[in-house]
Structure 1
Amino acid sequence: DFMLTGRPSVSFAYDLAHYAGTERGLFYDLEHVFPGPVCRDFAALCTVLERFGDGRLEPPADLDLRRRTFFDHLDDGSAWRVVGRVRALALEGATPMVRC
């Protein structure tokens, strides 16, 4: 969800190769969907954090495409959409699913 803010993000994925190689693996290539640098070791993380501290950490040029991979709406109206949908279901007489 932080991706929606457009603010800088850094991933410290030191175990990426191990995790990607497990049975569950990854749904997406982190390098293609994460909205910032993906650091695989501590030295890379330090370099990126220095760039961030100097104001030189820019979001990827395709940030909007990356956001649209996961979000249909890039605004602040999600709560109102949920309220509207719940009201519509209530007016239709739908019985909400209740889990015990």
Structure 2
Amino acid sequence: MGDFNSGKTFGRDGVTVLNDFMELGNEWQVQPNEPELFHELTHPQFPEACLQPEDPRGITGRRRRLSESDVSIEEADKVCATLKDPLSIKDCIYDVMATQDLDMVGAF
């Protein structure tokens, strides 16, 4: 499938370099004449094409820049202040900032 040292990924012929991971997945989809790898067959199976993930670049608002933040450290500090244990408060603030989800405090 690829070369560890170079990072190149190859088609089934071992020569064709595939730089697109969608193309690589379709190239290496298990064929009917190959041994089954799993006990249960799940959708999709060849000749049906592999399921492709959404392209996050095509969805506005789906991705955020890491330098941007919808939740401030002050907001995270405020919602996590309801906790008693100082270590839990610290962990809560970290999780809220990482997920940008003020309701994360409920996990503590």
Which TM bucket (shorter chain)? under 0.3
- Structure 1 or 2: more helix by fraction: 1
TM-score of the two chains, using structure 2 as the length reference:
0.26
